[in-house]
Structure 1
Amino acid sequence: MPSTTFHEQWSAAVAGHGDRLFLLFRDDHAINAYSYEEFDQVVAETAGTLRAAGVGRGSCVHLALANCPAFVATWLAAARLGAWIVPADPASTARDIASQVRRIRPAVALCAAARADAYHAGAAGAVPVVVELAETAADVAPGGPLSHGEPVTAAVAGVGPSDRLAVMFTSGTTSEPKGVVLTQENYHTVGAVMAAAVGLRPEDRWLVTLPLFHANAQYYCFAPAIATGAAVALTHAFSASRWARQADELGATHASLFAAPIRMILARCGSELPPLRLRHVWFAQSLGEQHYERFAAIIGCRPRQLYGMTETIAAVTGDTSVPLRHDVIGEPLGDREIAVVDPVNGGPAATGTPGMLRVRGVRGADLFAGYLDDPETNGRSFTDLPDGTSWFTTGDLVAADADGRLRFVGRLDDVIKVSGENVSLTEVESVLAQAPGVLEAAVVARADPTRDVVPVAYVVPRDAGAPPDLAALADWATGNLPPAARPREWHLIAELPRTSVGKVRRFRIGSA
């Protein structure tokens, strides 16, 4: 029976594609390139360094790093050692660090030297070994901080598919973060499934500008590249103004983004752009039609919307329309089994009516294993079946059209009833982001004595020095939104509170 560990998937890529390019890393100063064989040596030395520091099978390694080769090497080294990583936002406060360290009890932590004070303040001596890194190629160079100890060239005894490989804390857009437990088999599965979903080839190259400590870059870019022997072009951080030029410079054929970074690219990329010819671009979250068409013109292909969560491992759905559209998340990918149910009575949701999305799979394989130390939430989220599969309730609302194509509506709390009519705050936001003078917008619900609740808009100007007139925006909304969806109040705001991948933390708006 073929192995289903992530380590073996990496080893197979090295054996089959050793001399092919694996990683291009672009920081502010240079581009560094590594073949699969060269990076495997980096992984072996990193694993040796971690083992010498006390990491073994079942140990936790805490990563507070921006995008860099050391992050990738530690992830793969942990798979080899049977250890597990917890990626943290590198800009985490001492309070955030303290909360995670208390929950995960890491044996070793890797953090940026430039932000080490915050890490040490949060860890407060609770982490036995803290390695400070530059977040450059020097971290993994011979003689660097990750090249100490005897290299580990093979997996330690007993490493198996069900071994924990990571815990990723969710973004916390509507609540406090939950720890999503991921196995070796989870990463093996997502690599194979997402590579097949885009027809990935060894000659392809993913552009990764989103942060590696979240699922998108790991699931949709790195894992399928490893499963296929393709390459990844990694930037240290996302830059809206440089994104298109980086895609050209690094020879990208594939990319994955959220709607918010796409809107930022459109606002800041300038007019003199290289002629990009990307083969495939995933995007998630709502994108207005005008923004969709403008971005498609820049990248040279029509982006394809998907839907997935950290918990669902591979994407659940993807658009299959011809041509691809801006407003649907499509149909189940591959062998995915879904159900769209009425959030009140649990029965099938009617066509066109928002319903709760549920996904069926195997925990620890094509669904996450569970939430860290949280049996109560696990009990609410999973319905385990006698055949070993489980239904996972996503908490997201979707609506199916007559052809079965799904449209993303939002989280359950993102849909409000205005005088009895359903209004998706997510959809209103995507429309308002296209209004003249608007960079982006967030919409929240406010209690109303006659309509139950009404939408209220918070708008970020495209030009802070010349913000849009709010009365003019209200007039524009009258011509572009149905009556129930039109905001009853308008506010200008300097920026929206966001997670590190651009999701709006709506619960924080207006609370200051």
Structure 2
Amino acid sequence: MSTGADTFDGIWRRTVETHGASPFLLFRAESGETTTWTYAEFDDVVGRVAASLAAAGVGPGSAVHLVLRNSPVFVAAWLATSRLGAWMVPVDPASAARDIRTQVRRVRPAVSIVAAARAAAFTEAAAGEVPVVVEVAEDASDLDPAAPLLQGAGTPEAHAVDAGARIAVMFTSGTTSEPKGVELTQANYVSVARTMAAAAGLQARHRWYVTLPLFHANAQYYCFAPAILTGASVALTATFSASRWVPVARELGVTHASLFAAPIRMILARCPAGEEPLALEHVWFAQSLGAQHHRAFGDLVGTLPRQLYGMTETVAVVTADTSNPPAHDVIGPPVPGRAVRLVGIDGEDVPDGTAGEIWVRGRRGDDLFAGYLDAPEINARVFTPDGAETWFHTGDLAVRAGNGALRFVGRVDDVIKVAGENVSLTEVEAAAAEAPGVLEVAVVAQPDPVRDQVPVAYVVPKDPSAPPSPEVLDEWAAHHLAPAARPRAWHFIDELPRTSVGKVRRFRITAG
């Protein structure tokens, strides 16, 4: 059992000692009921869950498989696993049977904690493969004193937990390929807590608003970890609701939020007209927003959102927009402690104004992830050692301006050549999402006998019964996009294939 602040459990224990009477978690269930725990109250829950897991065979080095949506059970299991020196594997609770079988085969969990609503599907997918399966209801009642998960007696046997011990394996979103397992350490979570608390200027009086899935990095890295470090609180909702996002934020008294561009566009489209604006102090966002959407969301929440750039693999963010006012299309300069290169296909640094792959320098298992699970060939490809540190090749492209700030371009395979000109599909999507009658859009590449490749747009209309005509969209594109970036066709679809945090899975869209 860890006792020092160089582990995530050590940070938690220190905050419980100094902020025990302060609110830690507010959980708003789908019913609208909100349950609140102080740090001290939740620490008692964590101890009980840790005892239950230990009794089920979880110890240092064990894997605990979490098949849960946002819930206090998830948070308690995460902290209890950390305390035991074990590691969690948080996955999408809507994972298909094939995905569940793959996860179980790859991580061999000692225990799986599964939402009762998904228990039958889980059992069908992994029957007999997991020694212990715990079913939970995913609401506050499963952390009542009488809940089965809290029936562990006594204190688990103390074990020294090293800062380099594995704390989690998180599977990537799989927007362009099959998911990879990102290995993370206790030290990774300490590093992200410190970096993100400083980046957001977080204080104990602040309250994060978490509506994105907890099984992904954003909510853990940018919200929960820095809140735990500083004694701030977190308001967690069971699900994301675009139409209710603003009134629930007001109800829960939040000050900080973190979102992706797609949920922001959904909130703007679904928020009722005349909704009273919020007065948030800080909002992070990732991925590109058009200027109109950036300004409109700032008006709605009371502060212009600041774009940042990071990945599950980089742990803390790499860059953040610190300009005043923040820009809609800038991910900013590297945050303190980060070193970044923009590298061309020849392996050399590119000049300012030219797109290059983002390479991030750091220490594996500290401020960079430890590596991909059971994938030595991939690790050899994405890491370039540099003395005691290493350069991680992110696969993302950016352009550096003369002032040192970076602008995100997209994934390496998101940039296409149209008659010799580079076109970022990510940037076309951000612009086209502001076209008349468009709710959201994905842009993919289509082979062309003359131009090599051309962009083609798949549009979800604001009003499915009256979509904008292709002629109207062509006219809009002629005024707002460079010739090479204008979609050569507009296809209308009911919805885009997305990951659970709203990223578009382009590889599931077939250009017509």
Give TM class, smaller chain.
Answer: over 0.9
1:357 maps onto 2:358 in alignment: yes
Of residues 78, 85, 103, the one that matches 1:100 is: 103
* 2:325 counterpart residue number: 323
Report the Cα distance in structure 2 between the residues aligned to 1:432 and 1:156, rounded to whole angstroms: 56
Secondary structure of residue in 2 paired with 1:467: coil
Deviation (angstroms), 1:160? 1.1
Q: Where does 1:464-483 land on structure 2 (aligned, <5 Å)?
A: 464-483=464-483
* 1:66 counterpart residue number: 69
State the one-letter code of the partner of 2:358. Answer: L
* 2:13 counterpart residue number: 11
* 2:379 counterpart residue number: 378
State the one-letter code of the partner of 2:308. Answer: L
Report the Cα distance in structure 2 between the residues aligned to 1:432 and 1:109, rounded to whole angstroms: 43
Is the 1:3–1:161 Cα contact (8 Å) retained in structure 2? no
- Larger mean CA deviation between 243-252 and 461-470 belongs to 461-470
State the one-letter code of the partner of 2:93. Answer: P
Is the 2:363–2:389 Cα contact (8 Å) retained in structure 1? yes
Report the Cα distance in structure 2 between the residues aligned to 1:427 and 1:225, rounded to whole angstroms: 33
Deviation (angstroms), 1:272? 3.2
Deviation (angstroms), 1:464? 1.0
State the one-letter code of the partner of 1:480. Answer: H
TM-score, length-scaled by structure 2: 0.98
* 2:112 counterpart residue number: 109
State the one-letter code of the partner of 1:357. Answer: I
Secondary structure of residue in 2 paired with 1:146: helix
Report the Cα distance in structure 1 between the residues aligned to 2:325 and 2:117, rounded to whole angstroms: 47
State the one-letter code of the partner of 2:446. Answer: R
**Residues 363-419 of structure 1, C-alpha deviations (whole Å, 9 max, x = no match):** 000000000000000000111222x21110000000011211100000000001111
Is the 2:4–2:11 Cα contact (8 Å) retained in structure 1? no
* 1:392 counterpart residue number: 392
Secondary structure of residue in 1 paired with 2:504: coil
Is the 1:47–1:151 Cα contact (8 Å) retained in structure 2? no
Is the 1:6–1:188 Cα contact (8 Å) retained in structure 2? yes
Of residues 278, 281, 286, the one that matches 2:283 is: 281
**Residues 279-328 of structure 1, C-alpha deviations (whole Å, 9 max, x = no match):** 00000000000000000000000100000000000000000112111010
* 2:501 counterpart residue number: 501
Report the Cα distance in structure 2 between the residues aligned to 1:172 and 1:279, rounded to whole angstroms: 32
* 2:462 counterpart residue number: 462
**Residues 209-242 of structure 1, C-alpha deviations (whole Å, 9 max, x = no match):** 0000000000000000001000000000100000
1:189 maps onto 2:187 in alignment: no
Deviation (angstroms), 1:269? 0.8
Is the 1:256–1:281 Cα contact (8 Å) retained in structure 2? yes
**Residues 81-126 of structure 1, C-alpha deviations (whole Å, 9 max, x = no match):** 0000000101111111001000000000011111111111111210
**Residues 240-285 of structure 1, C-alpha deviations (whole Å, 9 max, x = no match):** 0000011100000000000000000000011132331100000000
Secondary structure of residue in 1 paired with 2:148: coil
Is the 1:46–1:151 Cα contact (8 Å) retained in structure 2? no
Q: Where does 1:68-217 land on structure 2 (aligned, <5 Å)?
A: 68-152=71-155, 156-217=158-219
Deviation (angstroms), 1:140? 1.1
Report the Cα distance in structure 1 between the residues aligned to 2:372 and 2:219, rounded to whole angstroms: 21
* 2:224 counterpart residue number: 222
State the one-letter code of the partner of 1:165. Answer: I
Secondary structure of residue in 2 paired with 1:162: coil
**Residues 133-191 of structure 1, C-alpha deviations (whole Å, 9 max, x = no match):** 110001111010211122437x8322110110000000000110000000001001101
Give 4+ residue runs of structure 1 displaced > 3 Å after superposition. Answer: none
Deviation (angstroms), 1:2? 6.1
Is the 1:80–1:156 Cα contact (8 Å) retained in structure 2? no
Is the 1:359–1:391 Cα contact (8 Å) retained in structure 2? yes
* 1:49 counterpart residue number: 52
Report the Cα distance in structure 2 between the residues aligned to 1:159 and 1:336, rounded to whole angstroms: 27
Secondary structure of residue in 1 paired with 2:99: helix
State the one-letter code of the partner of 1:376. Answer: E
Report the Cα distance in structure 1 between the residues aligned to 2:189 and 2:298, rounded to whole angstroms: 30
Q: Where does 1:253-292 land on structure 2 (aligned, <5 Å)?
A: 253-292=255-294
- Larger mean CA deviation between 15-24 and 138-147 belongs to 138-147
Secondary structure of residue in 1 paired with 2:149: coil
Deviation (angstroms), 1:73? 0.3
Q: Can you give the 5+ residue segments of structure 2 that lack an aligned partner in the other structure?
A: none
- Larger mean CA deviation between 215-224 and 396-405 belongs to 396-405
Is the 1:23–1:33 Cα contact (8 Å) retained in structure 2? yes
Percent pairwise identity: 62
Is the 2:414–2:426 Cα contact (8 Å) retained in structure 1? yes
Q: In angstroms, what is the RMSD of aligned CA positions? A: 1.2
